Amino acid sequence: MSEQNVRIEIATLDELAQLTDLVTDLMDLQEDFEANAILHERGLRLILEDPSRGRIFVIRNDYQILGMVNTLFTVSTALGGFVILMEDFVIHPEHRGHNYGTKLLDYLTKFAQERDFKRITLLADKLSADSQKFFKSHGFKYSSLTPMRLILNSTNDYD
C-alpha cells in the first residue's frame, strides 16, 4: 500500500457500513459494551447527519477506511468553552503498527486547537494497557474523576 495515498477526511454517510463494522469490532473487545451493529449504525448516523453534534474522522487510502475516531462536541463550564469527547478511536487490526493512530490523533488535536476547543476527553479501556500507553505517549493524563453512568431505556423496545 502506498503511504502517499493515506489521508484523513471527515466521514460521510456513504461510509456508514464500514464505520459500523469498525465500531462493532471495537465493542466486541470491550467489557462495558455489547456489540450491536444496529445500535452502532444508529449512533453513527446521528453524528453524520448533524455536524453540530460532532465529527467522525477517518484515515483511509484509495481503497478502504483504515481507522476512525468519533468526536462529540459539548461545553465545559469549568473551562468556559467547547470541549471534545473522543470515542470510538480504532485502527483496523490489519493496519496497526503503521503510525496511523498517531496521524489520526495528531489531526484531531490540530482540528481542536484551530477551533479553540479547550480539552479532549476520552474513556480508555482499563483492560487495554496498549491503548492507555498510546494515549499517555500523546500527552493524555489520568483524571482524578471517576466515570459513572446511568443507563436509561436499556431495552431496544421503543414502541
For β-strands 65-76 and 7-10, DSSP reports them as: unpaired
Q: What is the CATH number of domain 3-137?
A: 3.40.630.30
How confident is the model at residue 149, as a pLDDT?
A: 79
Distance of CA 110 to the CA centre of its chain: 15
How confident is the model at residue 158, as a pLDDT?
A: 40
How confident is the model at residue 89, as a pLDDT?
A: 93
**What pLDDT tens digit does each residue of the chain (159 aa) get?**
446 699 999 999 999 999 999 998 887 766 667 788 899 999 999 999 999 999 999 999 998 999 999 999 999 999 999 999 999 999 998 998 999 999 999 999 999 999 999 999 998 766 578 888 899 999 999 888 888 878 887 654 443
Concatenate the DSSP letters of all residues of 121-150 into one string: EE---TT-HHHHHHHHHTT----S------
How far apart CA 30 and CA 90 sit, in angstroms, is 12
How confident is the model at residue 148, as a pLDDT?
A: 86
The domain locations on the chain are 3-137
Instruction: Quickly tell me which residue has 446521528 as its cell.
Output: 46
Single pTM value for the model = 0.87
How confident is the model at residue 127, as a pLDDT?
A: 57
CB atoms within 10 A of CB 106: 13
How confident is the model at residue 30, as a pLDDT?
A: 66
For β-strands 54-60 and 81-91, DSSP reports them as: unpaired
* 155, 123, 110, 55 alpha-carbon torsion, rounded to 10°: 0
For 47-64, b/e burial (b = at least 16 CB within 10 A) is bbeeeeebbbbbbbbeee
